[in-house]
Amino acid sequence: MKRTSLIIVSLIVVLVMSGCSFGASKDSSASDKKITLTLWYWNRSIDDGLLAKAKEQFPHINLVTQKIGGDFKSKLKTTLAAKSGEPDIVALNDWVMELFPSEDRFYDLYELGAAEVEDLYLDWKWQQGVTPNGKMIAFPMDTGPTALFYRQDLFEQAGLPTDPDEVSQALSTWEDYMDAGLKVKETFDGKVFMTDNIDNVYNQIISQSEQKYFTEDGQYIGDQNEVIKYAWDTAVAFSNNGLIANAEHWTPEWNAGINKGTIASYVGAVWMKQPLLEAAPDSVGKWRVARAPGGDGNVGGSFLAIPKSSEHPQEAFEVIQWLQNPENQETALSNLNLFPSTPGVFDSDTVQKEEEFFGGQVTGEVFAASANNVKVSFFGERYPAVHGIMTRWLKNISNLNQETAFDEALQRVERELKR
């Protein structure tokens, strides 16, 4: 009897201990369970080091990052159309407005808490991610404030101001810039051009405008907006006066002209610093940056969005908000030259550092001033198509009748809009 009782007691103890053990294992498993979020981005759009830190920042999230090569926009649109395989978080470039008609395919970030941090970001950049219906489908990443890049030595030889502040004041309009270009042309017997290409002149003037091709209610005004005609006429005048090198960006001709000093200047976004540094190793210390003629504009800059297919939108927004907070945007500037959309870091050492390539100038303060003064403007989902037609016709201006080319370009736009 004693032996039987001992066996029974032992079994009870084992069962109790086993039960406790099983219960602890089950609780531990539940607490360790992670959700998975996938993130699509393209090379250098997000700092890989920050993505690695995000995985540490959110231990409850299995963040799967996919660097998409090739035509990122086409792959995204194809995926959205298929309604399958969409990521939880996706980077969007400055073509974000093309997705406005599909706003219902993305979460409204206002509903996830975006309004709580709105004051941390540049207003014009923030508004670019908000649809005409008031839904915020895209969260601000970097920006592309513009400025005038110029060769100080060539300006000096042409008798032009060379100090950035003086250049900003003396070349404050596109007419001033053209006059300065004529001096450069005369000084160097037409062997040095004031700027790089005709469509860049047009692009930059458009970027400085509050109104472009469409109103917020979708009405086309490209044939009525005086800025469009002014941009066209100014670009053509630069060409006719022999001030343009006809060197397109990202080409060997542009690289050679920049490095050899046959292109004296160009207006470009802050991200054009990197191509300049890579193309012009023989001109270290000779370049400077001033405020752009005609005013401040923006070209480029990216966003992050959450497709409606995501099952974890709140967690996805937490990741987005962390990646793009002021501190991490400053890190992205330091590592990838991605200029922040968070003006709170404009006074930081990272923005205010001296740069050897630019003769010790603090170019960050020029771009910060530009970013602070970009106008809020509406693009419309068909902006890329319309703008593409106008610039293609402009590039071909030498083969067209200049008296009728502008009207013919507008007619081509109207046919496109009727499709």
Residue ranges in the chain modelled with pLDDT below 70: 1-32
Instruction: Return the pLDDT at 32.
Output: 61
Which of 34, 409, 59 minimizes the C-alpha distance to 213? 409
Instruction: Return the pLDDT at 33.
Output: 85
Q: In what order do the strands lie in the sheet with 61-67?
A: 61-67, 35-41, 89-92, 303-305, 139-140
CA dist., res. 299 & res. 129, Å (int):
15
Instruction: Return the pLDDT at 13.
Output: 40
Mean confidence (pLDDT) of the chain: 93
CA dist 134 → 93, 126, 167 (Å): 20, 12, 40
Tell me the β-bridge partners of 148. Answer: 267, 290
Instruction: Return the pLDDT at 102.
Output: 95
Tokens of 31: 């607490």
Instruction: Return the pLDDT at 338.
Output: 97
pTM: 0.90
CA dist., res. 86 & res. 39, Å (int):
9
Cβ burial, residue 263 (10 Å; 0-12/13-18/19+):
buried
Amino acid letter, residue 13: V
DSSP 173-202: SHHHHHHHHHHHHHHTTTSSBSBS-HHHHH
- Strands 287-290 and 146-151: what pairing? antiparallel
Which of 129, 127, 141, 126 minimizes the C-alpha distance to 103? 129
Q: In what order do the strands lie in the sheet with 287-290?
A: 265-269, 146-151, 287-290
Instruction: Return the pLDDT at 419.
Output: 87
Residues 6+ apart with CB under 8 A from 304: 89, 90, 91, 92, 138, 139, 141, 320, 323, 324
E strand spans, 215-341:
265-269, 287-290, 303-305
The per-residue pLDDT for range 131-173, each reduced to its tens digit, is 999 999 999 999 999 999 999 999 999 999 999 999 999 999 9
E strand spans, 240-348:
265-269, 287-290, 303-305
The alpha carbon dihedral of 188, 190, 196, 199 has a sign of positive
